[in-house]
Amino acid sequence: MNLDKIIEKTNFYPKNILLLGAADGIGQAISKILINSNANLKIYITSREKNNNTSRIKYYQLEATEESDWLKFIKILDKEKIKFDLIINTIGILHDEENKIIPEKSIKNFNANSFIQNVKVNTLVTALCIKYMTDYFSKNNKVILASLTARLGSISDNNIGGWISYRASKAAQHMIIKTASIEIKRTNNKMIIVGLHPGTVETKLSKPYLKSASKIFDTNESAEKLLEVIYNLSNTDTGNIYDYSGRIIPY
Ligand SMILES: NC(=O)c1ccc[n+]([C@@H]2O[C@H](COP(=O)([O-])OP(=O)(O)OC[C@H]3O[C@@H](n4cnc5c(N)ncnc54)[C@H](OP(=O)(O)O)[C@@H]3O)[C@@H](O)[C@H]2O)c1
């Protein structure tokens, strides 16, 4: 569904939107949909790389695995007096051949460096994002922090095994989301914190592993579905993990 129709239907009007890691992949597709909406949204994107601002996007350089970089980032937000209504964390890792990070077929292939890197990018970034960004939300009635995750992080839905580091880092990401949501609900019941599974999507993250997939989305299809799920969230949904169709994924 077109974003303007979703906005009309859901009555949710986030103005300032921050996308983490959106210079590429699903995050970039989300940014394109937001820009093309009639809602006159302000889009902010973080990336490890330096990107030039455009008329519609303000870029910040952020190595989101580094706490020191978050401290620098919030100083900029203080200086520029920016608060967000919606934050979507699209940062994630599955493989990085250059650094010998390859999803394991067996526990025999388990490798400490690969495990730590998965946890750093998939789990730690989510925790640091929640830690630093909860004070940078507007006072609107509904504000949302959504973090992209994967169905593979569901412990109860794990029937085939494999990819142990990625699965473990995503399961831990779910625990961070659930635990933080319980705490934050006590002081701010307007804030919704969720995890979102985008489906199998053709990006550089999934490219080497698409052969066995039964259904593959392009980035725009997945981004549209994710935005529809996000805009339809209500305050009682905080702490949950959803797939691209809005169905809850069990922990
Ligand atoms: N594609 C799929 O089929 C699929 C399926 C299930 C779940 N997901 C999840 O969806 C999310 C987005 O995935 P995607 O497919 O869009 O992947 P992608 O195209 O590889 O984009 C992921 C983003 O993460 C950032 N990133 C990658 N490695 C990093 C590192 N070492 N340190 C810090 N940032 C790093 C990059 O941002 P910068 O380079 O701009 O900093 C990159 O733009 C991930 O959490 C992934 O697990 C994807």
pLDDT at 247: 98
Q: Which residue ranges have their beta carbon within 6 Å of ligand 1?
A: 21, 23-27, 47-49, 64-65, 90-93, 121, 148, 150, 197-198, 200-201, 203-206
Compute the distance from residue 22 Cα to the ligand 1 centre, in Å. Answer: 8
The domain total for the chain is 1
Q: How confident is the model at residue 212 (pLDDT cuts 50, 70, 90)?
A: confident
pTM: 0.98
pLDDT at 123 exceeding the cut of 90 = yes
Mutation test residue for ligand 1: of 18, 24, 31, 95, the one with most atoms within 8 Å of CB: 24
What percent of the chain is modeled with pLDDT above 90? 96
pLDDT at 40: 87
Q: How confident is the model at residue 132 (pLDDT cuts 50, 70, 90)?
A: very high
Query: Is 163 a domain residue?
Result: yes
Question: Which residue's alpha carbon is nearest to atom 21 within ligand 1?
Answer: 25
Query: Is 250 a domain residue?
Result: no
Q: Among the atoms of ligand 1, which is closest to the Cα of residue 125?
A: 33
Query: Is 251 a domain residue?
Result: no
For 51-70, the pLDDT digits (tens) are: 999 999 999 999 999 999 99
pLDDT at 229: 98
Query: For the chain, what percentages of helix, strand and coil (3-state, to nearest 5) are there?
Result: 45, 15, 40
Q: Nearest to residue 42, comparing CAs of 6, 80, 72?
A: 80
Query: Is 152 a domain residue?
Result: yes
pLDDT at 12: 93
Query: Is 248 a domain residue?
Result: no
* Cα–Cα distance for residue pair 105/123, rounded to 1 Å: 21
Compute the distance from residue 55 Cα to the ligand 1 centre, in Å. Answer: 25
The answer to whether the beta carbons of residues 3 and 227 sit under 8 Å apart is yes
Query: Is 82 a domain residue?
Result: yes
pLDDT at 94: 98
pLDDT at 83: 98
Helix axes 125-133, 67-80, angle to 10 degrees: 30
pLDDT at 82: 97
Q: Which residues pair with residue 195 across a beta bridge? A: 147, 241
pLDDT at 164: 98
DSSP state for residue 105 in the 8-state scheme: S
Compute the distance from residue 186 Cα to the ligand 1 centre, in Å. Answer: 31
pLDDT at 218: 97
Question: Which residue's alpha carbon is nearest to atom 31 within ligand 1?
Answer: 121
Q: What average pLDDT does the segment 115-125 reach?
A: 98
pLDDT at 197: 98
* Cα–Cα distance for residue pair 132/134, rounded to 1 Å: 6
Query: Is 137 a domain residue?
Result: yes
Compute the distance from residue 25 Cα to the ligand 1 centre, in Å. Answer: 7
For 154-164, the pLDDT digits (tens) are: 999 999 999 99
Question: Which residue's alpha carbon is nearest to atom 23 within ligand 1?
Answer: 91
Query: Is 98 a domain residue?
Result: yes
Domain enclosing residue 138, as ranges = 3-243
Question: Which residue's alpha carbon is nearest to atom 28 within ligand 1?
Answer: 93
Q: What average pLDDT does the segment 194-213 reach?
A: 95
pLDDT at 18 exceeding the cut of 90 = yes
What percent of the chain is modeled with pLDDT above 70? 100
CATH number of the domain residue 24 falls in:
3.40.50.720
pLDDT at 1: 76
